[in-house]
Structure 1
Amino acid sequence: MAHNMDSSRAASGLGAAGTRALTVAALDPVPIFREGLSALVHRTPGLRWLGHAATHHAALQLCDQLRPNIVIVDSGLDPNCHLIRLLCDGDPALVVIVLVRDSQRTPGFLSTAVAAGAHATVPRSADPRRVTEAIRRAHTDRRYVDPALASLTARPKRHTTAPNGQPAAQGNRPQMPLSRREYQVLQLVAEGLENSAIAKVLYLSVETVRTHVKSILRKLSARDRTHAVTTAFRSGILIARPDDAVDPTTEIRTSQTR
């Protein structure tokens, strides 16, 4: 993985002229889309590109290390919105913008994304002007829906109340029984990595990884690692890689490693 970066600049969010810029990262498995987002951010005053990640565990690492102001998430990478929820829970100040693929342009997905914490939803096919508008509006208002999606999101709310005063159910939001770190470990187990390799990727001790694996097995009522992965895919905790994704040799790229 590539981790080289100017950490002081990344932390301060200062642009070339010394003015504070909004820092932006993308979580997208498709090179042409994230290159387009990078170019858009680079040419937009007041925005600064931090980098991208192509998998769930790499996305969590990127956000932990670089702490972007804005993260743009491909809906195809997170169709059940588990990653969105983990990102929002891990950093309440983070603004999450979802680029919605045609296959996810449904009231169900959009309400689930909002319930998970997404601040803005924009069609993945939107032109650059609409994407930059979403970035600015989401950061300012912490709520933005592209006009093309408005008719699908008229009813869903972040918090609704039932007649008895109790919070109402948030649609078919899949449950996530795992912690943020357990989710990362399970992703890597599903990729075939052994504990020692997972420890190197996540900068953990092997014993800590073993502890996480034991917890995953217990929470998923799984007999072994293979059973845990199978259960996770069947329940929607893990998803198959999008059809148009490539197998990344380096999952994290920062603006200083271009």
Structure 2
Amino acid sequence: MRGIEPHRPTAMPGQPGASRSLGVAVVDPVPIFREGLAAMVHRSPGLHWAGQAASHHSALQLCEQVRPDVVILDSALDPNCHLTKLLASGDPALLLVVLVRDANRTQQYLATAIGAGAHAIVPRSVDPRRLAEAIRRAHSDRRYIDPTLAALTARPKRQPSPRAAPAADHLAQPKGAMPLSRREYQVLQLVAEGLENSAIAKLLFLSVETVRTHVKSILRKLSARDRTHAVTIAFRSGILIPRADDEHNPAAAQPAVARGTP
């Protein structure tokens, strides 16, 4: 399974509340951080480990195949909250816990994350016990904001609207808006990794013709000339983001798009 490390928990006879244990998966680009979260989950009563992923595509696959109860998501991996929205729409029962890095610690990001479907917002530097408690609180209340971030979720005072705002302004999408479907987004991720249609079809268990249809739809929605142009537009607009481990390597962050017809 490409980029996914699922784990199905074994039964633990006699453990109180075992039947109500929550399966927790982690989506984070840093291996040692994923291992640390796994250790936290293993030692927290009422939680069990459901798997880990390091990218958007593998996160979507993990949730489709393992169906965890909770996903802990790194804000740096999802700065525009596209993955949050896709995961929330794909499984309304899924509990989404966002770990916020300092760079994303803004009122705008928190509002976007909550609007996209996040149930809990917690600093990435949070103490493990507080994180476990945040998961439990979010599960019971369907909403938890860490006290240190509460001030950023306060509603700003409403500003008077302009008298005559052009109609086009109401229709324009904000920068980084997601015009693609869940499956189109997965296909675009794999196109950016340099995979041909046949390889994408195998990974997503689709026919090559279906993948070709998705690629054509992506080109149309992004007004792109070809696959390379589509990936370039996606990175520039924030639909795709460079991998976290490529941030300090400009050459590695360039899309490796396979040549070929849509």
Q: If the length of structure 1 is used for normalisation, what is the TM-score? A: 0.83
Residues in 2 aligned to 1:101 and 1:20: alpha-carbon distance in whole angstroms: 30
Cα offsets for 1:14-48 (capped at 9, x unmatched): 75235331010001110111101100000111101
**Cα distance, 1:174 vs structure 2:** 3.7
Correspondence 1:81 to 2:81? yes
Do the aligned partners of residues 38 and 69 (structure 1) sit closer, same or farther apart at CA in structure 2, a change above 3 Å counting? Answer: same
Do the aligned partners of residues 230 and 244 (structure 1) sit closer, same or farther apart at CA in structure 2, a change above 3 Å counting? Answer: closer
Instruction: State which of 181, 184, 191 in structure 2 corresponds to 1:182.
Output: 184
Residues in 2 aligned to 1:150 and 1:23: alpha-carbon distance in whole angstroms: 27
Q: Unpaired runs of 5+ in structure 1?
A: 157-161, 163-167, 247-258
Residues in 2 aligned to 1:225 and 1:173: alpha-carbon distance in whole angstroms: 21
Instruction: State which of 219, 223, 233 in structure 2 corresponds to 1:231.
Output: 233
Do the aligned partners of residues 15 and 148 (structure 1) sit closer, same or farther apart at CA in structure 2, a change above 3 Å counting? Answer: farther
Cα offsets for 1:170-195 (capped at 9, x unmatched): x9674211000000000010111111
Q: Unpaired runs of 5+ in structure 2?
A: 162-169, 249-262
Q: How does 1:1-258 map to 2 (within 5 A)?
A: 1=1, 10=8, 15-17=11-13, 19-155=19-155, 174-243=176-245
Secondary structure of 1:19's aligned partner:
helix
Residues in 2 aligned to 1:172 and 1:227: alpha-carbon distance in whole angstroms: 20
Q: Are 1:80 and 1:173, in contact at CA under 8 Å, matched by a contact in 2? A: no
Residues in 2 aligned to 1:133 and 1:143: alpha-carbon distance in whole angstroms: 12
* 105-114 or 198-207: bigger deviation: 198-207
Do the aligned partners of residues 151 and 4 (structure 1) sit closer, same or farther apart at CA in structure 2, a change above 3 Å counting? Answer: closer
Do the aligned partners of residues 152 and 4 (structure 1) sit closer, same or farther apart at CA in structure 2, a change above 3 Å counting? Answer: closer
Q: Which residue does 1:159 correspond to in 2?
A: none
Q: Are 1:30 and 1:244, in contact at CA under 8 Å, matched by a contact in 2? A: no
Larger radius of gyration: 2
Residues in 2 aligned to 1:203 and 1:243: alpha-carbon distance in whole angstroms: 28
Q: Are 1:107 and 1:153, in contact at CA under 8 Å, matched by a contact in 2? A: yes
Residue-pair matches, total: 230
Residues in 2 aligned to 1:148 and 1:15: alpha-carbon distance in whole angstroms: 37
Cα offsets for 1:61-94 (capped at 9, x unmatched): 1001111110000001000000000000111111
Provide the alpha-carbon RMSD of the alignment: 2.5
Identical aligned pairs, as a percentage? 70
Cα offsets for 1:137-169 (capped at 9, x unmatched): 11110110001111111227xxxxx9xxxxx99
* 200-209 or 176-185: bigger deviation: 200-209
Q: Are 1:233 and 1:239, in contact at CA under 8 Å, matched by a contact in 2? A: yes
Residues in 1 aligned to 2:175 and 2:89: alpha-carbon distance in whole angstroms: 16
Cα offsets for 1:206-253 (capped at 9, x unmatched): 11111110110111111100010011111111111124789xxxxxxx
